[in-house]
Amino acid sequence: MSPAEEARQVLDQLGVEPGGDLVSFSPIDGSEIGRVSVGDPEAVCARAADAFLGWRTVPAPRRGELVRLLGEELRAAKEPLARLVTLEAGKIHAESLGEVQEMIDICDFAVGLSRQLYGLTIASERRDHRMMEQWHPLGPVLVISGALSGLLWRDTAGALGVAVSGRHYTSIGLRVGLPALIAASAVVLLLRP
């Protein structure tokens, strides 16, 4: 089976319909294995700003629950997602499994953070007075990455609720994005060459 045929089979298995202007080529044989659409960053950022207004009112443990569910979706689709990484990035299967596992681990880490958003109470020199540290959401967060490999992987992971791919994008996107979601910030991941 060619990489293109196998990619189509994996995408079908995951319920993803690829299409668009950006072409993804397999490093295995150089064949086109799929396409993804180019989004409108301004429209996405405007939606993120709107979403932030509601998201910031959701208690942190509930936000953590959403990230936990995302981790469960990734666990359930670990094998096909790893296969897609192999087809698109040319990595051996074990390394591709590690890519997906890293996403799962960061989800687990972020869930733990959702129960740790507490502040400090600081002693004051003034009588009957205290200072208190309290965390407030910043607003929408835009994460820009130059990683363009793994277009199908990004699109497929996006269908599961995550728009990330490859080691660089996973490191930047998830390490910043998931904790930012826990902190009640809307997150937009933007690819730039």
The first and second tokens of residue 159, run together, are 């269908």
Q: What's the pLDDT at 145?
A: 65
Q: What's the pLDDT at 174?
A: 66
Q: What's the pLDDT at 37?
A: 76
Q: What's the pLDDT at 161?
A: 41
Ordered per-residue pLDDT tens for the chain, 193 residues: 888 888 888 888 888 777 888 788 888 888 888 887 777 888 888 998 999 999 999 999 999 999 999 899 999 999 998 998 888 888 899 998 988 898 899 899 889 989 888 777 888 888 888 888 777 788 888 777 655 445 555 555 544 444 343 334 444 566 677 888 888 888 887 766 5
Q: What's the pLDDT at 175?
A: 67
Residues with Cβ within 8 Å of 98's Cβ and at least 6 positions away in sequence, in order, are none
User: What residue ranges do the domains of the chain occupy?
Assistant: 3-191
CA dihedral (29, 35, 41, 44) positive or negative: negative
The whole-angstrom separation of Cα 182 and Cα 110 is 7
pTM to 2 decimal places: 0.77
Assigned CATH for 3-191: 3.40.605.10
Q: What's the pLDDT at 172?
A: 54
Which amino acid is located at 5 in the chain? E
Nearest in space to 4 (alpha carbons), one of 23, 167, 164, 99: 23
Radius of gyration over every alpha carbon of the chain, rounded to an integer in angstroms: 19
Q: Give 129: exposed, middle or buried? Use CB within 10 Å, 0-12, 13-18, 19+.
A: exposed
